[in-house]
Amino acid sequence: MVKLSVILVNYNVKYFLEQALHAVNNAMQGLSGEVFVVDNHSVDGSCEMVRQKFPHVVLIDNKENLGFSKANNQAIRLSKGEYILLLNPDTVVQEDTFRKVIEFMDATPDAGGVGVKMIDGKGNFLPESKRSLPTPAVAFYKIFGLAALFPKSKRFGKYHLGYLDKNETHSVEVLAGAFMMLRKATLERIGLLDEDYFMYGEDIDLSYRITQAGYRNYYFPHTTIIHYKGESTKRTSINYVFIFYRAMVVFAQKHYSNKHARLFGLLINIAIYIRAALAVMLRMAKALYKPVLDFSLLLGGLYLIKVAYEQYFKYSSGGEFPFRFVVSNLLIYAVLWVVGLYIAGAYRKRGSIFTATKGIALGTLLIIIYYAFIPESYRYSRAIIVLGTIWALTASYMSRLVGYLIRYKKFNLRVSLELRTLIVGNAEEVKRVKDLLVRSKASCEYVGYVSTTNESVNYTDEYLGQVDSLSDIVELFGVEEIIFCSKDISAQRIINWMGLTQNKKVQYKIVPEESLFIIGSNSKDEQGDFYTLEINLKLNSPAEQVKKRLLDVFLSLVLLVFSPVLMLFVNKRLKFFRNVVHVLTGRYTWVGYADAENVHLLPRLKNGVVSPVDGYAKKDVNGLTVQKLNFLYAKEYSIEKDLQIILGSLTRLGN
């Protein structure tokens, strides 16, 4: 008899899925079980990975995204287990997780479903491990921030049941969809997941129906899993706000009285507008605060330079620059330096002082070009450009140095985001991981490794000690990132160490055995990240985006020059000239993605006049081929590829 059926629904999270399946395999040892992966039409190679590395897994390869509920139900209908586990692909379970939960359910006949203690990728407890039903009152406290202000209150903190001890077993109302172990008999009685929910809300609905049928849901903290929450950055998107809260409305309409459902709907609509506005403001603030800070510093410094230059040099006997100098010169100088910083990549996540220096240099070049073309009457002082450049270099460097000091609590003249990295594993696996770090160009400073065994080791300069002394080693060497080799250290030990450590400045990553990636996440509010050799989308690079934009401008000018000849080949001549204008103004790009599903997962591009499909030898292509051509274009982008596509598509440049 099959004891346990594990079901994972996947959508474009191949790296998380592979790590999750390795952990599931380890936890299945000694159990009679089966594993299902339901893939909702991923284009990142997830299905190929499962077939190659996990041939024992039952793979359901959907040709469209059916949503979470329908996908789980597909596997549940095929399952044979006494217990069904719905498990997210961005999780890591301990080796004894399944055994402990099954033993608890065997000993607790009224348990219809069980959830476990969850931590994020940095070891922080995830409060959604235990929740209550979103009644109108509970929703009100959550929406208007009272739950956050009084998390331990039995009245206001009920959403996450903050008043319940996270280290004790409790009967709860709602289980988290990331880990739901259910009795097959319970599902046969109450029905499967409600397919009216596409994503979000189905776990609340199922939990509610379990309790309505006379069973109880339990929070079981005697085993812990990692939940990276790889999709959690969508919480700052308007799309997430609408999907999540609309799911709550569906739940209210199904299970509450008309009076309560209307009240709940009113609260939800208020919440949607509040959260949508906050999401827009948060995204704008994240995108603009660094450029705005730089602009303010640059303009303020330029103004002080202007005042000092007036008093001591230009107008020492009295007088000042006209006001138009401030507008036509100082404002534009500050803007052009910010533009230079942006083009150089100084606002990227891993931007350093060197990118800032390049940005100021580029901005200065733009200022010199601007100065050369403005009327003579507006050319007030080249000295202010020189002095301003010195200030711009100083200000951009000092602001980043202070920002780095505030965020990372340490002084670093390089102002780079290279983390002091420690590897935990045995010498052979450590060597492989080091090579992976180098070849994937990871931003880290390797300080050494810690052995996971007490056996004799090769005492090189890299060897720092045994894993039992990990806390002391982290403190002594100022370690900021720990990479665990799962081949040499169990998930249970990794999770225990993450959960017990008080050093929250440390980031964690895990490298599965024989895999070409290292995966982790810094918090529940940050998307899971990884170092990998398998995929490096070149179009993610701001430098490549700049090259592409410069190529667009250059090609537009060339095409205009040769337009008398091109008119013999282009199909729609008037639209060709319109396309040239649109590309020059940045509205279009000459080569963009072909229209296909999942384009939003790729680096953003403007609409293209032509696409990779136009450069494809076979013109009769299906949807999956179009997606793969788009993906390969983003992955292997080059100027040569753009030129090749355009030269092969000259007749379609007027499309």
- DSSP notation for 327-365: IIIIIHHHHHHHHHHHHHTTTSTT--HHHHHHHHHHHHH
Average pLDDT estimate for 134-147: 73
The whole-number pLDDT of residue 255 equals 64
Give the phi and the psi of residue 282 in degrees, each rounded to 5.
Answer: -65, -45
Q: What is the DSSP letter of 62?
A: E
Assess if residue 270 is contained within a domain: no
Confidence of residue 236 (pLDDT cuts 50, 70, 90): very low
Low-confidence winner among 8-22, 185-199, 269-283, 480-494 (lowest mean pLDDT):
269-283
Assess if residue 594 is contained within a domain: yes
Indicate if 590 and 448 belong to the same structural domain: no
Confidence of residue 115 (pLDDT cuts 50, 70, 90): very high
Question: Which residue type occupies 611?
Answer: S
Confidence of residue 264 (pLDDT cuts 50, 70, 90): low
The whole-number pLDDT of residue 235 equals 47
Instruction: State which of 157-161, 362-366, 646-650 shows the largest mean pLDDT.
Output: 362-366
**Residue 105, Cα to own-chain centre: how many angstroms?**
35
Confidence of residue 186 (pLDDT cuts 50, 70, 90): very high
Average pLDDT estimate for 148-152: 82
Three-state secondary structure string covering 460-502: CCCEEEEHHHHHHHHHHHCCCEEEEECCCCCHHHHHHHHHHCC
For 12, 231, 414, 517, 567, the CA distances from 600, given in Å and listed in that order, are 12, 14, 35, 23, 35
Low-confidence winner among 254-263, 301-310, 558-567 (lowest mean pLDDT):
254-263
The whole-number pLDDT of residue 233 equals 40
Indicate if 212 and 123 belong to the same structural domain: yes
Instruction: State which of 49-53, 56-60, 530-534, 589-593 shows the largest mean pLDDT.
Output: 56-60
The angle that helices 258-309 and 238-255 make with each other, rounded to 10 degrees, is 160
The tokens for 263 are 């009240």
Q: Where are the alpha helices (DSSP H) in 92-194?
A: 97-107, 136-143, 146-149, 184-190
The whole-number pLDDT of residue 558 equals 84
Closest to 513 measured CA to CA, from 488, 481, 483: 488
Low-confidence winner among 33-47, 116-130, 172-186, 309-323 (lowest mean pLDDT):
309-323
Average pLDDT estimate for 614-643: 74
Average pLDDT estimate for 510-528: 68
Task: Indicate the residue among 481, 503, 532 that finishes a domain.
Answer: 532
Higher pLDDT, 121 or 23: 23
Query: Does residue 79 carry a pLDDT above 90?
Result: yes
Asked if 263 contacts 558 with a C-beta cutoff of 8 angstroms, the reply is no
Indicate if 574 and 525 belong to the same structural domain: no
Q: What is the domain range of residue 619?
A: 538-652
Assess if residue 66 is contained within a domain: yes
**Longest Cα–Cα distance in the chain:** 99
Report long-range pairs for 275-284 (Cβ below 8 Å, ≥24 apart): 275/241, 275/245, 276/238, 276/241, 276/242, 279/236, 279/237, 279/238, 279/240, 279/241, 280/238, 282/236, 283/236, 283/237
Pairwise CA distance, residues 111 & 105, whole Å: 6
Q: 245 CB contacts (<8 Å, ≥6 apart)?
A: 268, 271, 272, 275
Assess if residue 571 is contained within a domain: yes
Asked if 398 contacts 304 with a C-beta cutoff of 8 angstroms, the reply is no
The whole-number pLDDT of residue 397 equals 84
What per-residue string of b and e applies to 372-391 under the rule 16 or more CB within 10 Å gives b?
Answer: eeeeeeeebbeebbebbbeb
Indicate if 528 and 542 belong to the same structural domain: no
The SS3 of residue 574 is helix
Average pLDDT estimate for 450-467: 73
Higher pLDDT, 36 or 323: 36
Higher pLDDT, 104 or 404: 104
CB count, 10 Å around CB of 211? Answer: 18
Low-confidence winner among 351-360, 376-385, 550-559, 611-620 (lowest mean pLDDT):
611-620
Indicate if 106 and 222 belong to the same structural domain: yes
User: What share of the chain in percent tops pLDDT 70?
Assistant: 80
The tokens for 329 are 């010169």
The whole-number pLDDT of residue 392 equals 93
Query: Does residue 652 carry a pLDDT above 80?
Result: yes
Q: What is the DSSP letter of 175?
A: -
Indicate if 441 and 470 belong to the same structural domain: yes
Indicate if 125 and 182 belong to the same structural domain: yes
Average pLDDT estimate for 434-453: 78
Average pLDDT estimate for 380-391: 87
The SS3 of residue 125 is strand
Average pLDDT estimate for 16-38: 94
Instruction: State which of 103-117, 268-282, 482-496 shows the largest mean pLDDT.
Output: 103-117
Give the phi and the psi of residue 323 in degrees, each rounded to 5.
Answer: -60, -35
The torsion region of residue 377 among left (phi > 0), alpha (psi -120 to 50) and beta comes to alpha
Asked if 221 contacts 168 with a C-beta cutoff of 8 angstroms, the reply is yes
Low-confidence winner among 28-42, 176-190, 628-642 (lowest mean pLDDT):
628-642
For 363, 643, 646, the CA distances from 638, given in Å and listed in that order, are 25, 9, 13
Indicate if 556 and 637 belong to the same structural domain: yes
Pairwise CA distance, residues 110 & 94, whole Å: 25
**Residue 488, Cα to own-chain centre: how many angstroms?**
28
The tokens for 420 are 């002091």
Query: Does residue 134 carry a pLDDT above 80?
Result: no
Average pLDDT estimate for 609-615: 84
Assess if residue 437 is contained within a domain: yes
Pairwise CA distance, residues 477 & 138, whole Å: 46
Confidence of residue 45 (pLDDT cuts 50, 70, 90): confident
Query: Does residue 624 carry a pLDDT above 70?
Result: no
The whole-number pLDDT of residue 234 equals 47
Read off the pTM. 0.66
Confidence of residue 114 (pLDDT cuts 50, 70, 90): very high
Question: Which residue type occupies 312?
Answer: Y
Higher pLDDT, 92 or 136: 92
Query: Does residue 4 carry a pLDDT above 90?
Result: yes
Indicate if 427 and 512 belong to the same structural domain: yes
Strand partners, 219: 115, 170
Query: Does residue 500 carry a pLDDT above 80?
Result: no
Pairwise CA distance, residues 144 & 197, whole Å: 25
Task: Indicate the residue among 229, 258, 281 that finishes a domain.
Answer: 229
Assess if residue 398 is contained within a domain: no
**Polymer length in residues for the chain:** 655
Asked if 132 contacts 172 with a C-beta cutoff of 8 angstroms, the reply is yes
Three-state secondary structure string covering 277-317: HHHHHHHHHHHHHHHHHHHHHHHHHHHHHHHHHHHHHHCCC
The SS3 of residue 201 is coil
For 41, 487, 492, 559, 589, the CA distances from 451, given in Å and listed in that order, are 41, 12, 17, 62, 52
Average pLDDT estimate for 404-425: 70
Task: Indicate the residue among 211, 229, 247 that finishes a domain.
Answer: 229
Higher pLDDT, 146 or 126: 126
Domain count across the chain: 3
Q: What is the DSSP letter of 164?
A: S
What per-residue string of b and e applies to 323-332 under the rule 16 or more CB within 10 Å gives b?
Answer: eebeebbbbb
Asked if 251 contacts 134 with a C-beta cutoff of 8 angstroms, the reply is yes
**CATH number assigned to the domain comprising residue 182:** 3.90.550.10
Indicate if 564 and 618 belong to the same structural domain: yes
Assess if residue 106 is contained within a domain: yes
Query: Does residue 608 carry a pLDDT above 50?
Result: yes
Query: Does residue 303 carry a pLDDT above 80?
Result: yes
The whole-number pLDDT of residue 216 equals 94
Low-confidence winner among 46-60, 151-165, 212-226 (lowest mean pLDDT):
151-165
Mean pLDDT of the chain: 81
Query: Does residue 534 carry a pLDDT above 60?
Result: no
For 309, 456, 463, 464, 611, the CA distances from 460, given in Å and listed in that order, are 59, 12, 5, 9, 53
**CATH number assigned to the domain comprising residue 436:** 3.40.50.20
Assess if residue 52 is contained within a domain: yes
Pairwise CA distance, residues 631 & 651, whole Å: 25
Q: What is the DSSP letter of 420?
A: E
Confidence of residue 401 (pLDDT cuts 50, 70, 90): confident
Average pLDDT estimate for 94-102: 96
CB count, 10 Å around CB of 560? Answer: 14
Indicate if 110 and 24 belong to the same structural domain: yes
Higher pLDDT, 126 or 541: 126
The tokens for 61 are 């390869």
Indicate if 426 and 478 belong to the same structural domain: yes
Q: 60 CB contacts (<8 Å, ≥6 apart)?
A: 36, 37, 38, 39, 71, 74, 75
Query: Does residue 390 carry a pLDDT above 90?
Result: yes
Average pLDDT estimate for 644-655: 82
Average pLDDT estimate for 161-174: 90
The whole-number pLDDT of residue 232 equals 37
The whole-number pLDDT of residue 76 equals 95
Average pLDDT estimate for 381-393: 89
The whole-number pLDDT of residue 145 equals 74
Q: 188 CB contacts (<8 Å, ≥6 apart)?
A: none
